């Protein structure tokens, strides 16, 4: 009888939250299957039911501490519909946009400088004692300082727009509850030139790495897929609002300029027995062919152009690399992510010079509705929030499709491909082998949040079992 | 004029929606309501790399978190910078923050861990268990008393008493 061995990598390191990879090997140590397991938010969807709708933009931030702003904004957009706010005031919309740019800026920066740069700058197989952020600090201290100060800049923007760092209350149904003071604005303007300079430096780093390692990147965790994101009505990149566009691996439109409130007509979610995480797919393409990617790479693929100068130039160069066709290389996420860092800081600068941010007209209301759907582009991709509310103002239905769920199939394919390419025939667990798999997952910057922690509870363990469940090999370290 | 009080930073962290995991932010909220000279309060879901910048601008930092494996009602001990092999923003340890502060900003801050004993972590709920509430109150009184005296002198003695 054929025997199956299972290697488990748990938890994954240098990703947000907790997850594990299981790799199944046959008798000849060839990879039969590889899976990424993520903690799902189903419990939270139930937790929301019965809560007053106006609390939701605050409560959903407790989904996780990594991208609370994205959840706040998606929920607020859904609740705008509930309170009948068809069009926000300029101050409200621009404050929300500023909040979103701050969030994406700081999130991308953290990922690039502190989570993935050790792989890129030291190599996937480098000694793990060196291949970490402290190795970066030692070798490139200026880069480390930039990473921290850029992240802090984005966090301060969140604080100024959302009210506070934890459980911000800035975005409320129908608008916003504060504007940006002149003092706050001037504080941000003081550092904007430095932030732009550093952002362009990070973009150059990611671009150059991609071009210099193109032979490897063309193959490493690379595969064709569909791509999905919001796009503005004129086809420009828009991280806060727009319509849905999906394209296939060749760039052909699957659907275009779809009102996201009709997402249920276009997207379905599949449940698989081995995972708590859902697998969304495009209905018209079916379960097997309809899965898609989201996030920076997909956004660079779906949008026609960017409307601010430096990131526009960068996007054009990015597109030229694949002759205008979609880029399907997982490791190109890093370059795409840094284009968005430049985009965000250019947009932040533009907004800081806009007097609407000091306006006092913050809220609008209209006819009450029973159902609201809100979408934003979160750092990791398209984020769906869908609610129904009864006459007592209580939430009766909640469905969330979070960014990392949208990328679920793609991450599983990335893990499988890398396992085939780098593990097959080699049953011994090595740190370098674990890291190749993790590099593939890290490219997507998934948020595998479980949102709880306590002192001293984070062992990293790799285990090799035979088919009878006998432990053959185990490696562990505490992080 | 330079103040006689050292600049103290207390960071209370944890997830208030996960029952006792919210002990850190709960302590921060209680202290925030009590204006204490020289004491700056921060609160967040988890520690982040940019905390290193704030930490580097203080003389003493106290990290307040929920803890599972400590004596009741809380533990309090000095910690040192330590560079982890790996991290994500979900698992930046206080020692790692100190290491960032030391390596990036050349900080020489003294740091202490205040681990408040908690009991319920694995369910959603914005409430503390009864025993955690009691431990929180004792931790609050401890920090308040330390604040009313000379921090630097008391810290040394209390490390030995509560470790």
Q: Which of A217 and B145 is assigned the larger pLDDT?
A: A217
Say if the Cβ atoms of B53 and A66 lie within 8 Å: no
Say if the Cβ atoms of B21 and A454 lie within 8 Å: yes
Alpha-carbon gap, residue A453 to A451, rounded angstroms = 7
A149 alpha-carbon distance from chain centroid: 21
Query: Do A405 and A378 contact (CB within 8 A), yes or no?
Result: no
Q: Is the pLDDT of residue A294 over 80?
A: yes
Q: What would the mean pLDDT of A205-233 be, rounded to a whole number?
A: 97
Q: Is the pLDDT of residue A474 over 70?
A: no
pLDDT of residue A472: 57
pLDDT of residue A463: 53
Question: In DSSP terms, which residues pair with A279 in a beta bridge?
Answer: A270
Chain B residues whose CB is inside 8 A of the A129 CB are 85
Mean of the per-residue pLDDT values of chain A: 87
User: Can you name the CATH fold of B8-162?
Assistant: Rossmann fold (3.40.50)
User: Considering only A161-170, A198-207, A269-278, B55-64, which range has the smallest mean pLDDT?
Assistant: A269-278
pLDDT digits (tens, 9 = 90+) for B113-148: 999 999 988 776 778 999 999 999 999 999 988 887
Q: Which of A83 and A270 is assigned the larger pLDDT?
A: A83
Question: In DSSP terms, which residues pair with B52 in a beta bridge?
Answer: none
Confidence of residue A303 (pLDDT cuts 50, 70, 90): very high
A324 touches chain B (CB under 8 A): no
pLDDT of residue A273: 63
Say if the Cβ atoms of B88 and A454 lie within 8 Å: no
Q: Is the pLDDT of residue B17 over 90?
A: no
Q: DSSP alpha helices (H): ranges in B6-150? A: 23-32, 51-56, 94-105, 130-148
Question: In DSSP terms, which residues pair with B10 in a beta bridge?
Answer: B41, B62
pLDDT of residue A464: 53
Q: Is the pLDDT of residue B157 over 60?
A: no
Query: Do B29 and B10 contact (CB within 8 A), yes or no?
Result: no
Confidence of residue B109 (pLDDT cuts 50, 70, 90): very high
Q: Is the pLDDT of residue B150 over 50?
A: yes
Say if the Cβ atoms of A62 and B70 lie within 8 Å: no
Neighbours of A218 (CB within 10 A): 12
Q: Is B89 helix (H, G, I), strand (E, B) or coil?
A: coil
Query: Do A414 and A441 contact (CB within 8 A), yes or no?
Result: yes
pLDDT of residue A456: 30
pLDDT of residue A128: 80
Task: State the burial class of residue A196 (Cβ atoms within 10 Å of its Cβ: 0-12, 13-18, 19+).
Answer: middle
Put simply, the chain A residues between 82 and 141 with a CB less than 8 A from any chain B CB are 110, 114-115, 128-129, 132-134, 137-138, 141
Q: How far is the alpha carbon of B60 from chain A, nearest alpha carbon, in Å?
A: 21
Side-chain-side CA neighbours of A377 within 13 Å: the count stands at 33
pLDDT of residue A304: 98
pLDDT of residue A137: 85
Using alpha carbons, list the distances in angstroms from residue A441 to A299, A444, B127: 18, 6, 35
What is the ipTM score, two decimals?
0.78
pLDDT of residue A154: 96
Q: Is the pLDDT of residue A479 over 50?
A: no
Mean of the per-residue pLDDT values of chain B: 84
Q: Which of A39 and B156 is assigned the larger pLDDT?
A: B156
Using alpha carbons, list the distances in angstroms from residue A426 to A220, A308, A322: 18, 48, 34
Contacts of A318 by beta carbon, 8 Å cutoff, 6+ apart: A300, A327, A332, A335, A336, A339
The share of chain B scoring above pLDDT 70, in percent, equals 83
pLDDT of residue B23: 96
Q: Is the pLDDT of residue A478 over 60?
A: no
Residue located via tokens 């930039």? A146
Q: Is the pLDDT of residue A189 over 90?
A: yes
A477 touches chain B (CB under 8 A): yes
Residue located via tokens 């701050």? A102
Contacts of A241 by beta carbon, 8 Å cutoff, 6+ apart: A77, A230, A232, A376
User: Considering only A310-324, A367-381, B142-156, which range has the smallest mean pLDDT?
Assistant: B142-156
- The encoded tokens of residue B86 equal 């790996």
Neighbours of A299 (CB within 10 A): 28
Question: In DSSP terms, which residues pair with A270 in a beta bridge?
Answer: A279
Residues in chain B, how many?
163
pLDDT of residue A16: 55
Question: In DSSP terms, which residues pair with B11 in a beta bridge?
Answer: B42, B63
Query: Do A7 and A25 contact (CB within 8 A), yes or no?
Result: yes
The share of chain B scoring above pLDDT 90, in percent, equals 53
Q: Is the pLDDT of residue A395 over 60?
A: yes
pLDDT of residue B4: 63
Confidence of residue A15 (pLDDT cuts 50, 70, 90): low
Chain B residues whose CB is inside 8 A of the A454 CB are 21, 65-68, 118, 121
Q: Which residue of A has its CA nearest to B63?
A: A455
pLDDT of residue A356: 98
- The encoded tokens of residue A361 equal 């007209």
pLDDT digits (tens, 9 = 90+) for A71-82: 999 999 999 999
The share of chain A scoring above pLDDT 70, in percent, equals 85
Task: State the burial class of residue A446 (Cβ atoms within 10 Å of its Cβ: 0-12, 13-18, 19+).
Answer: buried
Q: Is the pLDDT of residue A223 over 50?
A: yes
Q: How far is the alpha carbon of B75 from chain A, nearest alpha carbon, in Å?
A: 12
Say if the Cβ atoms of B100 and A148 lie within 8 Å: yes
Q: What angle do CA A38, A42, A44 make, to 5 degrees?
A: 110
Q: What would the mean pLDDT of B72-95 be, rounded to a whole number?
A: 79
pLDDT of residue A396: 96
pLDDT of residue A23: 80
Q: Is the pLDDT of residue B98 over 60?
A: yes
Q: Is the pLDDT of residue B62 over 90?
A: yes
Q: What would the mean pLDDT of A95-113 be, rounded to a whole number?
A: 95
Q: Is the pLDDT of residue B87 over 60?
A: no
pLDDT of residue B80: 94
Q: Is the pLDDT of residue A449 over 50?
A: no
Alpha-carbon gap, residue B24 to B41, rounded angstroms = 11
Q: Is the pLDDT of residue A88 over 90?
A: yes
Q: How far is the alpha carbon of A258 from chain B, nearest alpha carbon, in Å?
A: 35
Q: Is A107 helix (H, G, I), strand (E, B) or coil?
A: helix
Q: Is the pLDDT of residue B96 over 70?
A: yes
Q: What would the mean pLDDT of A180-195 be, rounded to a whole number?
A: 98
User: Considering only A143-157, A209-223, B70-84, which range has the smallest mean pLDDT?
Assistant: B70-84
Alpha-carbon gap, residue A165 to A155, rounded angstroms = 7
- The encoded tokens of residue B139 equal 């931790």
Alpha-carbon gap, residue A395 to B98, rounded angstroms = 43
Which domains, from first to last, does chain A contain? 5-39+416-478 (no CATH), 88-222+330-363 (1.10.645.10)
Alpha-carbon gap, residue A106 to A103, rounded angstroms = 5
- The encoded tokens of residue A358 equal 């000091």
Query: Do B59 and B7 contact (CB within 8 A), yes or no?
Result: yes
pLDDT of residue A131: 82
Neighbours of A181 (CB within 10 A): 12
């Amino acid at each position: 009888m054929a025997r199956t061995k299972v290697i488990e990598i748990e938890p994954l390191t240098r990703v947000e939250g907790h997850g594990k990879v299981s790799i199944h090997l046959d008798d000849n140590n060839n990879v039969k299957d590889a899976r990424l397991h993520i903690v799902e938010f189903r419990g939270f969807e139930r937790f929301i039911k019965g809560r007053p709708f106006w609390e939701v933009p605050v409560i959903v931030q407790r989904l996780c501490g990594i991208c609370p702003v994205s959840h706040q904004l998606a929920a607020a957009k859904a609740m705008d519909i509930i309170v009948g706010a068809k069009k926000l005031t300029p101050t409200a919309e621009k404050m929300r946009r500023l909040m979103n740019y701050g969030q994406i800026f700081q999130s991308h920066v953290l990922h690039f400088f502190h989570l993935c740069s050790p792989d890129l700058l030291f190599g996937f197989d480098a000694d793990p004692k060196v291949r970490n952020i402290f190795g970066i600090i030692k070798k490139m201290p200026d880069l480390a300082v930039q990473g921290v100060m850029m992240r802090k800049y984005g966090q301060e923007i969140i604080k100024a727009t959302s009210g506070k760092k934890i459980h911000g209350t800035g975005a409320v149904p129908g608008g916003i509850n504060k504007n940006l003071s002149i003092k706050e604005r001037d504080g941000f303007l003081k550092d904007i030139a430095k932030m732009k300079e550093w952002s362009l430096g990070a973009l150059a780093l990611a671009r150059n790495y991609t071009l210099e390692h193109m032979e490897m990147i063309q193959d490493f965790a690379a595969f064709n897929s569909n791509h999905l994101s919001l796009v503005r009505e004129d086809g420009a990149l828009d991280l806060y609002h727009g319509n849905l566009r999906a394209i296939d691996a060749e760039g052909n439109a699957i659907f275009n300029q779809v009102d996201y409130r009709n997402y249920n007509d276009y997207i379905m979610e599949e449940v698989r027995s081995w995972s708590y995480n859902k697998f969304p797919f495009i209905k018209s393409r079916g379960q097997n062919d309809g899965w898609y990617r989201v996030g920076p790479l997909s956004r660079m693929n779906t949008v026609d152009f960017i409307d601010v100068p430096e990131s526009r130039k960068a996007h054009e160069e990015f597109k030229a690399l694949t002759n205008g066709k979609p880029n399907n290389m997982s490791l190109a996420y890093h370059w795409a992510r840094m284009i968005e860092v430049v985009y965000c800081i250019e947009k932040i600068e533009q907004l800081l010079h806009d007097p609407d941010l000091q306006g006092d007209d913050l809220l609008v209301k209209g006819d009450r509705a029973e159902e609201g759907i809100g979408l934003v582009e979160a750092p990791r991709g398209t984020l769906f929030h869908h609610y129904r509310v009864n006459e007592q103002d209580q939430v009766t239905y909640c469905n969330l499709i979070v960014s990392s769920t949208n990328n679920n199939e793609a991450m599983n394919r990335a893990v499988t491909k890398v396992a085939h390419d780098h593990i097959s025939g080699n049953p011994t667990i090595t740190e370098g082998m674990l890291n190749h798999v993790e590099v593939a997952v890290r490219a997507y910057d998934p948020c595998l949040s479980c949102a709880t922690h306590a002192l001293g509870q984070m062992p990293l363990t790799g285990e090799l079992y035979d088919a009878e469940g006998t432990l053959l090999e185990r490696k562990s370290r505490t992080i | 004029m330079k103040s006689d009080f050292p600049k103290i930073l207390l960071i209370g962290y944890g997830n208030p929606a996960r029952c006792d995991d919210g002990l850190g932010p709960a302590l921060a909220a209680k202290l925030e309501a009590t204006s204490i000279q020289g004491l700056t309060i921060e609160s967040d879901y988890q520690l982040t790399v940019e905390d290193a910048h704030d930490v580097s601008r203080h003389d003493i930092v106290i990290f307040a978190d929920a803890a599972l494996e400590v004596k009741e009602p809380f533990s309090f001990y000095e910690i040192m910078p330590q560079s982890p092999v790996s991290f994500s923003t979900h698992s930046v340890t206080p020692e790692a923050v100190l290491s960032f502060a030391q390596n990036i900003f050349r900080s020489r801050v003294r740091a202490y861990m205040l681990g408040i004993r908690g009991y319920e972590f694995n369910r959603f709920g914005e409430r503390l268990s009864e025993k955690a509430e009691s431990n929180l109150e004792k931790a609050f009184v401890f920090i308040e008393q330390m604040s009313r005296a000379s921090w630097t002198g008391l810290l040394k003695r209390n490390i030995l008493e509560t470790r």
